[in-house]
Amino acid sequence: MELTTLVYLEPELQEAAQHLADSFALPCVDGCAIASAKPKCLQRFLKERCPASAGGFVFVLGASGLAMNAVGDDCSIRADFHGPTVTYRRKQGGGKGQMIAKAVGLRSGVSPRVLDATAGLGGDAFVLASLGCSMTMLERVPAVRALLQDGLVQARRFVDVSKDCVLAEVLDRMSLVETDALDYMQQISLDGRPDVVYLDPMFPVRTKSALVKKEMRLFHHLVGADLDADGLLDAALSCARYRVVVKRPRIAPPLSGRPPSHVLEGKSNRYDVYALEKLPKGLNLEV
């Protein structure tokens, strides 16, 4: 993955953009002239002003927050915790009957503390937090971590305007730690151990790429494969108090070749559950 440039689209964002660009040792480019332009115009601008990044990635900072664009492609990704799609799922997504909720052991009287060791853009962590779990998120790829942090910031700003108290409570259950997941799990204190460790390691993109959403393909290219995913499972099993949950493509082999205790399978994904102990009633149940 080659991240080469940061483009800002609003004059008042110049200082923040320069700070972020400096942290990644990137040139900072003024794109205010095309702030309201159509996506094709933005792509043309990126090709012209960021020629070395053809086939690479560019940060774009605008009024709605930080996004990652692939130069030469009209696709972008961002972390979103307050838009219409995630809000609909939060309110109408099926509650604790969802497979991911069953996988981590969510039920009446049980709201486990979950360590999401491969948080990505935070989608699964947000779902679990909206259902009552306390979420600690780890993401080792700095560019993805920046998107995730910005998504949390933008959601907080939305709460300030909308006074959405329920969303505020969900965000209060989510914390992002800037560290490597393997180091974190190997060095965690006995008292700090999570009830559940959740893993969603990157899996090679399928050859039938039409089956994979465009944004997901972009994310795969940005992050690359998790070559040490087997080691993450070993660390997770030593770190978790009650269980480890691994999200896998439905046809993928078990992580590290280790059979799970049981499996929850959907149409495209499955959850491999490695049970260590039974989750007790009353576990971290919110008052």
Element (H, E) at 236: helix 229-239
* Spatial distance between the Cα atoms of 61 and 190, rounded to a whole number of angstroms: 40
Model-level pTM?
0.90
Q: Contact at 8 Å (CB) between 1 and 77?
A: no
| Residue 62 contacts residue 7 (beta carbons within 8 Å) | no
Pairing of the two strands 243-249 and 269-275: antiparallel
Residue 287: per-residue pLDDT: 37
Give pLDDT, residue 13: 97
Provide the total of helices (H) and of strands (E) in the chain, helices listed first: 10, 12
**What angle is formed at CA 223 by the lines to CA 212 and CA 208, rounded to 5 degrees?**
20
Q: What's the pLDDT score for residue 210? A: 45
> pLDDT at position 211, please?
42
Model pLDDT for residues 159-170, shown as the tens digit of each residue: 999 999 999 999
- The distance between the two most distant Cα atoms of the chain, rounded to a whole number of Å, is 59
The pLDDT tens digits of the residues spanning 72-115 come to 777 789 999 999 999 998 888 888 899 999 999 998 888 999 99
Assign 173 to helix, strand or coil. coil
Confidence of residue 70 (pLDDT cuts 50, 70, 90): confident
d(CA 270, CA 260): 11
pLDDT of residue 231: 85
Assess whether pLDDT exceeds 60 at residue 34.
yes
Q: Could you give the domains of the chain?
A: 3-77 (no CATH), 84-275 (3.40.50.150)
